[in-house]
Structure 1
Amino acid sequence: MPAAPITFFNRLTQRVETEHVYGEGFLRFTYENPLGALPLHALVKRAAFSAWYGRRMDAPASRAKIAPFLATYGVDEGEFADAPDSFLTFNEFFYRKLKPQARPIAADDNTIVFPADGRHLVLPDIAACEDFFIKGVRFDLATLLGDANEAKRYEHGSMLISRLCPVDYHRFHFPCDGVPSVAKQINGPLYSVSPIALSKRPSILWENKREITTLRTPRLGDVLLLEVGATCVGSIVQTFTPDAAITKGDEKGYFRFGGSCFITIFEPGKIRFADDLIEHSRIGREVYARMGDVTAHALG
């Protein structure tokens, strides 16, 4: 029986579309085939595997992968801050910068913007989510944050899960104004964050290696920003300055090669997500949208 395709709602086209999954055959074998369990646990989830793959993407020979990648996935070269032939390795291309006008930042002071390009899912009340990818599975906030007291504070808060595919722009940004703390690292494995993997093991999101930054804001209290690593992510690179005021849309950092995930958590009663996010997330469907577009509005 053919595997069900992964679909998402594209905010740009206003259509439900099918995702063309990078490395789909490998993902389905390792997460859906019983024979894939051995290489998954012995090799693929381990940091050494992703570090090795990341080094391959830093090698000069990897530059040859750029043109075929552009042709296969239709990436818009007109958005690039630098010409495609200026990149010396695939990784340089992967964490490329874009022209500022390619990602305009919603200007209204009442709006919160997406921190990254990707496919987004929201939990308006984290504690009320009883079926996270699999029926009866709750999102384990205490494990994600590594702090039971902090989890209690955000238990009824709101969460935005932004999943970045290899074809996406891989720099991440601040969703609102504030003052960020130093990023705290929590070690863990590096499973894939694809829906193929999450549908079998939702706990990946709170098990994988991750970094947590607290953004102190004038209107929204403390907003938690988490970068979640994944298979073949060479590393998470922070480019911001801790304890210095930032503006909505400022760059926070970037992921080196691989699919990855960015999680944003708000205190209870501070924001309301956009209607399309609520509507599609209710049925478990992600919404594709770009960094800088409106994800939520501040309440009060």
Structure 2
Amino acid sequence: MKSLIQAITQQEDLNFLLTNRVPRQALTHFMGWFSQIESPVLTRAAIAVWRLFSDLDVSESRQTHFRSLMECFTRELRPGARPIDPDPTVLSSPCDAIVGACGPVRGTEVFQAKGFPYTLAELFGPTQDTTPFHDGEFITLRLTSSMYHRFHAPFEGQMEHVTYLSGDTWNVNPIALKRVEKLYCRNERAVLRMRLASGHPIALVPVAAILVASIRLHCLDVLLHLRYRGPNEMPTQARFTKGQELGWFQHGSTIIVFVPPGFTRCAGIETGARLRMGQALARLPAHCDR
């Protein structure tokens, strides 16, 4: 049964139809409601169905029995399940992920997939100065629905500003990225501007998707979701250590990491690579004093 379902969903045209040509926002609102229902019996049944479509594995979780789907989506891991790279010149991956497009930012142009460019300004929104990331590097990290959904600080530093941009809920899988132009710029997202202890700026852009238009950040006392009405610009002075939890998605989605010129991707960071949170992602410029 599982192999049959996976064979059907791997048919690209059918996958795109089933996950995009549907009432995306209505389904996302429904999932937000359904996932919070506390019923052990219903939750076990829903997780069993979920496993038909994915490789869900909760063996590393702090808890393995859940009262709701939300508890499973946002599960914490056992201590030590994700070692953080100790190298003081390395940014660690903020999440478990599959690397999507990655490479240099060409001026202000970024690629979501081959032949599908977008600009930093379109992604960050009209209020943000994107100059620090011109000609820098970007790494797109895609979280599948079955992955660990919490994300963490890639380096010691401070969160300086959060911008929330409401939007659509297109699927963010590779099939949709090859068909929908500027998809990340259409979807709901947040721009997290950070200043590392080294003095360098970086940005993390969590992008929501169908069934997952909710982002929780520890530094804010609001839940960012489709019904959120502002404020959209939120200064913050939250300090963090490398590997410290920053927040979570309420399902799988994408985080795009932007670093300034001079940073380099670590070995093995290429399209299709599977990463675990804490793994080496990018290296600080060689002239950094740290």
TM-score strictly above 0.5: yes
1:238 aligns with 2:235: no
Cα distance 1:31–1:76, how it changes in 2: closer, same or farther (>3 A)? Answer: closer
Work out the CA distance in 1 between the residues paired with 2:110 and 2:242: 32
Which letter maps to 2:27? F
Question: Contact conserved, 2:167 with 2:188, CA < 8 A, in 1?
Answer: yes
Task: Give CA-to-partner distance per residue, 1:111-164, whole Å, 9 cap, x none.
Answer: 1100110101353321176764242x3232111011386234322111111100
Task: Give CA-to-partner distance per residue, 1:237-266, whole Å, 9 cap, x none.
Answer: 112364132101100101113x31111111
Question: Contact conserved, 1:116 with 1:172, CA < 8 A, in 2?
Answer: yes
Match of 1:114 in 2: 93
Task: Give CA-to-partner distance per residue, 1:162-188, whole Å, 9 cap, x none.
Answer: 100001000011111111024220111
Aligned residues: CA RMSD: 2.8
Work out the CA distance in 2 between the residues paired with 1:88 and 1:291: 25
| Equivalent runs, 1:58-207 vs 2, <5 Å | 58-59=36-37, 60=39, 61-67=42-48, 69=50, 73-82=54-63, 84-85=64-65, 87-121=66-100, 123-127=102-106, 132-135=112-115, 137-147=116-126, 150-207=129-186
Deviation at 1:62, TM superposition (A): 3.5
Question: Contact conserved, 1:142 with 1:151, CA < 8 A, in 2?
Answer: yes
Question: Contact conserved, 1:57 with 1:89, CA < 8 A, in 2?
Answer: yes
Q: What is the percentage of aligned positions where both structures have the same residue?
A: 25
Work out the CA distance in 2 between the residues paired with 1:108 and 1:169: 23
Deviation at 1:32, TM superposition (A): 5.7
Question: Contact conserved, 1:180 with 1:245, CA < 8 A, in 2?
Answer: yes
Task: Give CA-to-partner distance per residue, 1:36-91, whole Å, 9 cap, x none.
Answer: 97x44xx22x3x43111221122233342224545874544331111x22x10111
Task: Give the secondary-structure state (helix, strand or coil) at the position aligned to 1:106.
Answer: coil
Which one has a larger percent strand, Structure 1 or Structure 2? Answer: 2
1:254 aligns with 2:248: yes
Work out the CA distance in 1 between the residues paired with 2:141 and 2:32: 22
Deviation at 1:225, TM superposition (A): 1.4
Moved more, 231-240 or 185-194: 231-240
Cα distance 1:23–1:139, how it changes in 2: closer, same or farther (>3 A)? Answer: farther
Instruction: Provide structure 1 residue ranges, at least 5 long, that are not aligned to the other structure.
Output: 1-19
Cα distance 1:190–1:77, how it changes in 2: closer, same or farther (>3 A)? Answer: closer
Work out the CA distance in 2 between the residues paired with 1:130 and 1:184: 19
Which letter maps to 2:133? Y
Q: In structure 1, which of residues 51, 56, 68 is the aligned counterpart of residue 29 of structure 2?
A: 51
1:289 aligns with 2:242: no
Task: Give the secondary-structure state (helix, strand or coil) at the position aligned to 2:71.
Answer: helix
Match of 2:230 in 1: none
Work out the CA distance in 2 between the residues paired with 1:79 and 1:199: 33
Report the number of matched residues: 263
Match of 1:263 in 2: 256
Match of 1:17 in 2: none
Normalising by the residue count of structure 2, what TM-score does the alignment of the two structures yield? 0.81
Cα distance 1:103–1:91, how it changes in 2: closer, same or farther (>3 A)? Answer: same
Which one has a larger percent helix, Structure 1 or Structure 2? Answer: 1
